[in-house]
Structure formats: C-alpha cells, structure tokens
Structure 1
Amino acid sequence: MTAPPDVSGTAAEADPEASLKGVGKKAIQGRSLGQIAWLRLKRDKVAIGGAIVIVLLILVAIAALLLDRVFDVVHPNEFHQDLIDTENGTLAPLGTFGGISGDHPLGIEPVNGRDILARIFAGSWISLLIASLATVLSVVIGTTMGIIAGYFGGWVDTLISRLMDVFLAFPLLVFAMALVGVLPDTAFGLSPEMVRISLLIFIIGFFNWPYIGRIVRGQTLSLREREFVDAARSLGARGPYILFRELLPNLVAPILVYATLLIPTNILFESALSFLGVGINAPTATWGGMLSDASRFYTMPHFMLWPGLAIFVTVLAFNLFGDGLRDALDPRAR
C-alpha cells in the first residue's frame, strides 16, 4: 500500500494569511429593500423616461406659477385682436395653421387671439396642484380607514366597508355640478379662484378615498396575521403602535404605487369638470377649460390639439412610472 503523496510546500498547501489577503478590500455588502427596488427601477427604461417627464412637468408647473402669479411675466389672458381676421367675418387667426409664428409657436385662440402656449404653460400648475393635493387627501383618508378596518375587523370593518360602498356608489360628477352651483364665489376670505380650487380638491380627494381604502384593507388583513405582529402583541404593544409602527411601513409600497396611478385619474377628472363648465372659472387657464372652449371650433384643430396633447403626455408619464414602480417594489418580480 503506497503512502499518499507529500504535497507540503506546493501550491496545494493553503496559506491562511494569503487566503485572507484582499478580504477587507472586497467585503460583501448587503442591500436594503429600497436599494433592490431602485436597481430594478433603473433597469426599466420606460419607467425612468416617465419619471423624467414627471420631473420636467413639475418644474414647468413651478415656473408657470412664479412667472404668471409672482413675477407677472407670462400673460395668458392677453388679447391679440390684431391677429384675428375680422374683415371676412370668420374671427379666425390670421396666417397658417392657427396663426403659428415666432411670437406664438403654438398659434393663438380664435375670437380673442390669446396665446395658446402661454395658456397651456399657465394652466399646468393648476391641473397638477389639484390632482396632487386631491391624491394626498385620498391617500391619507383611504390609508387610515383601510388600516383600521383591516386590523380591528368585526363591526368596525363592517361599518367602514359599507361606508366605502356608499361612497363608491355616489354620483360624484352630479354632486360636483350641484355643489359648484350652490356655493358662493367667495368664502372664508378666499378669492373666487382659490375657492374653486379648494372645492375641486375636496370633491376629487374626499370622494375617491374608498379605492385606496379597499387596497389597504386587503393588505392589512394579510399582514395582521404575520409573525412580527404577533411578536409586537406579545411584547405588550397596543393597537395604535401596531398600526402605525408595524403595519404602515409594510404598506408603503402599494400606497406609493396606487398614488402614482391615482394622480393621472384626478387630472382627467379635473379636466372633465372644467370641460363641463364646473371647474375653474374663466378666464383662468386650465387644460380642461381650453378643451371646453375648443369644442366650439371644430374647423380649427390646433385649438384642441395642444391642450389635449398636454393632458395625454402627463397622464401617460404618470401611468408608465406607476407601472414601473409597481414592478420594482414587487418582491416576486425577477
């Protein structure tokens, strides 16, 4: 029987000090759930493109608010009657394709000659402000009601669930039209414009909370049976602590995703109210109000094209980013 070969002093012999060299330089670092979600989101080029458009829209809205209301640089309500063809009785913009020129890149409105680009620019902050604040209101109410209903259950869950059903069956559009008609133009020391903006935020936000409330309730029903909730109870934690310190952090992902998808819905709803004449009062520029004015001039497509395109791009950007954010925050996504 032969003895095993002597491998001492050869490459097969491991040197403990040599094997530890470089360990400190290439230490393995763990990744948090937020870092993993960000890596997934960066790989989704479509979602990143939507996020870039959203950031640009926010910057445009802030710039429009400052230039229009603070510095008085943009004049969306300035008439240009000299650019309207009144000799032939058409009241149409002079020039080609709605009066497009160097001074008016998107043309002018018929009848009064207001600059379309200036009105779209000035109306961006109103549309985004109403949609975003209404979404915040819906998220706060829906999250609170949904997490309470899902955690406590019993008669509390039954009462809140039936309340959600009532709100979902409520004729929101009819109610908005009726409420706008009975409320005064000035209230609480606010200007007519701010009263109408506050009213739209309340109507859109307060009556849309059941949608996110149902999502939060369903997620809470699943989370309340998890081990970390039982551990918190065993340590003597009370209901409010478990709701807002244990359950709520685990609901951030679906809440963020639904909020990004709710904003474009609110933009469309605000535009629909303005289109029906129960939105922001004229002559304040809004995208929906511009579409409402353009509906009377079917032979001038440029009047309807640009505000419709602004709404389309905004809604599409939020939807694309919301879909990408949902995939990035999904733990089962690959």
Structure 2
Amino acid sequence: MTAPLDVTGTAAEAQPEAVLQGVGAKAIQGRSLGQIAWTRLKRDKVAIAGAVIVVLLVLVAALAERPFGGLIALFGDDPNVPNQDAIDPLTSAPLAPWGGISLEHPLGLEPVNGRDIFARILSGAQISLLVAFLATLLSVIIGTLMGVLAGYFGGWIDTIISRLMDMFLAFPLLLFAIAIVGAMPDRAFGLSGNGLRIGVIVFIIGFFSWPYIARIVRGQTLSLKEREFVDAARSLGATNGHIIFKEVLPNLVAPILVYSTLLIPTNILFEAALSFLGVGVAEPQASWGGMLTRAVDYYQSAPHFMIIPGLAIFITVMAFNLLGDGLRDALDPRNR
C-alpha cells in the first residue's frame, strides 16, 4: 500500500491566509439599476446627442424672455411686434437682401410684418415645450393611476377602466380639440386670451391621452403583482396601499419615463397642428405651427420662412424620440 502524501506546509495546501490574501486590495462594489442604466446610456452616442439637444431646447425656452434672462432681447426685437420699417411696401418683402438675414437678425425677417424670425422661434419653443410637458404630466398622472388600479385589483375595476380606455381611444381627439378651442369664449375659469387657449389645449391633450400610458402600466402591473417580492410583502401583512406605492410603483418608473419621452414629441406635433389650423395659439403670439401657417403664402418668395420653423419642429421631435429610444434600451433589464 502506498503511504499517503504529506503536503503539510507545501504549496499544494490551501492555507486560509493565502486564500484571503489580497481580498481587501480591490473590493467588489455593487451597482444600482440607475448606475447600470446610466452606463448603458453613455455608450449610446445617438441617445446622448438627443439628450444634449433636449437640454439645450429646454434652456433656450426657459431663458428666452426677459423674466428668465432675455435671450430674445439679446438677439432680436420683440417677437410679437411688427417692424414695418424693414419691409418694402411694394413687394411686402424685407428691404435687406437674403430675406433680411444679418447679424442683427440671424434668421431673417418675416414678410409683410418684418418680425424677427429668430426671436419668434425662441418664443415658439416656450409654447411648444410648455404645452407638451404639462399635457404629458397630466396624462402620465391619470394613466398611471388608472393603469395601476386596473392591473392590481382586476375584476370589475379592471373591466370598467378598460372600457373607459376603449372609449377614449376611439374618441376623435383632433376634431374635438378644433371644436372646443374654436368655440371657446374670450374669458373663462379666470383666464383669457392665449392663457385660456393654452390651458384648454393642455387639458384636452392630457385628459384624452392617458389611455395610451394606462395600457402599458396595466400590463406591467399585471406582471409585477405576481412576482415573489409582492407575495413576500403580502405574506408579511402589507396593505394594498403599501404594496402599490412601495413595491409596484418603483418598478414602473422605467416604462413610465420611457413612454413619457416618446409622448412629449407627439404632444408637440399636436399643438403645432392646432396652431397650423388656426385654433391653437392666436396671433400675434409666436408658435411654430402658426409660423408655418403664415409661411404657406410665401413659400416661393421667402422659403426660409417655412423651412426654419419646420426644422425646429423636426429637430425637437427627433431629439425626444432618440432620447426615448436610448432610455428604452438602457432601462431594459434584458439588455446586457
């Protein structure tokens, strides 16, 4: 019989000190879901470019007028006051060549009234982003509430809310908005003029758009309420309110955030469409859709008058869509 090999004290023996040596040199650090998502998002250069454009648009809109800094005062005249001295009375075109483009007016002047296009683009950004953000916030609040209630409780609550979704989705929203805004009085609810119009547009868009996000939230809630952590919380005696606010809603932040970034450009286009049809923001207040309406009559003599607000809408919508796509990929737990 062969004697057992004695490896005591040799390299073949795994000493505890040798195993633990160097463990404290570089401790393994865990990463939160937010850190993982941010790491993924940073690798998506297209999404980062969209985020940069979105941030710049928000800053430009916030700093456009004098109470917030006055970019309009630095780059141009009052966007809502005509400047007839800069217009040829015979041709209704700007007296300066190239549509009035100069250092003082970097994007030129509008035909007929001579208002600065750059200043009106800045002012229009305020209207578009204000309406889009407020309408999206309203629809997200209502849609999240309805979707969570329908998905978590089910039964007759789910049936009623689901039928409400079907009714709202079948509603002719654009025609309803045109009818309501067009027949609106000059003063109501303590508001008047464009303040009243903006308030009504925000309410119409937000109140009738909630079913889109409610369907997404309902589907996610149906899946989450069957997960192990919800069963664990329920077995510990947690109430339905605690489970909804502490367990379900935190796991809905990612899809709500992604869909919100995709809903904002839709609302921007809706507001521009209403202004283009003449039932949105009224003149002389600048809006991108209203600028396109006036540009239709001058697309041959002053094509820049149509191209510039069109590009503003295109770039804004594209930036939000790129950011939304990037957030969707970054927040998807199935991505590696």
- Give the TM-score of the pair, scaled to structure 1: 0.92
Residue 47 of structure 2 corresponds to residue 44 of structure 1: no
Match of 2:26 in 1: 26
Total equivalences in the alignment: 332
Which residues in structure 2 correspond to 1:260-299 (within 5 Å)? 260-299=261-300
Match of 1:318 in 2: 320
| 1:6-60 C-alpha deviation (Å, 9 max, x unpaired) | 8777766666546544422310011111111111111111111111111111110
Cα distance change on mapping 1:243 and 1:100 into 2, 3 Å: same
Match of 2:228 in 1: 227
* Mapped partners of 1:232, 1:28: distance in 2: 29
- Mean Cα displacement is larger for which, 223-232 or 6-15? 6-15
Cα distance change on mapping 1:66 and 1:12 into 2, 3 Å: farther
Match of 1:83 in 2: 86
- Give the TM-score of the pair, scaled to structure 2: 0.92
Cα distance change on mapping 1:30 and 1:68 into 2, 3 Å: closer
Which residue identity is paired with 1:144?
Answer: L
Residue pair 2:72, 2:119 contacting (<8 A) in 1 also: no
Match of 1:253 in 2: 254
Percent identity reads: 71
SS in 1 for 2:190: coil
SS in 2 for 1:207: helix
Q: CA deviation at 1:232?
A: 2.1
Which residue identity is paired with 1:124?
Answer: A
Which residue identity is paired with 1:56?
Answer: L
Residue pair 1:60, 1:121 contacting (<8 A) in 2 also: yes
* Mapped partners of 1:69, 1:198: distance in 2: 25
Q: Which 5+ residue runs of structure 2 have no aligned equivalent?
A: none
* Mapped partners of 1:4, 1:116: distance in 2: 93
Cα distance change on mapping 1:156 and 1:177 into 2, 3 Å: same
- Mean Cα displacement is larger for which, 16-25 or 105-114? 16-25
| 1:99-124 C-alpha deviation (Å, 9 max, x unpaired) | 21121111100001000001001121
Q: CA deviation at 1:170?
A: 0.7
Q: CA deviation at 1:231?
A: 1.9
Match of 1:53 in 2: 53
Which residue identity is paired with 1:327?
Answer: D
Q: CA deviation at 1:191?
A: 3.6
Which residue identity is paired with 1:194?
Answer: G
Q: CA deviation at 1:154?
A: 1.3
Q: CA deviation at 1:303?
A: 0.5
Cα distance change on mapping 1:68 and 1:7 into 2, 3 Å: closer
Cα distance change on mapping 1:2 and 1:158 into 2, 3 Å: closer
* Mapped partners of 1:78, 1:90: distance in 2: 20
Residue pair 1:260, 1:318 contacting (<8 A) in 2 also: yes
* Mapped partners of 1:9, 1:230: distance in 2: 52
Q: CA deviation at 1:189?
A: 2.8
Q: CA deviation at 1:295?
A: 1.5
Q: Which 5+ residue runs of structure 1 have no aligned equivalent?
A: none
Please provide the CA RMSD for this pair: 2.2
Match of 1:148 in 2: 149
- Which of 319, 328, 331 is the aligned partner of 1:329? 331
* Mapped partners of 2:68, 2:44: distance in 1: 36
Cα distance change on mapping 1:29 and 1:104 into 2, 3 Å: same
Match of 2:244 in 1: 243
Residue pair 2:63, 2:70 contacting (<8 A) in 1 also: no
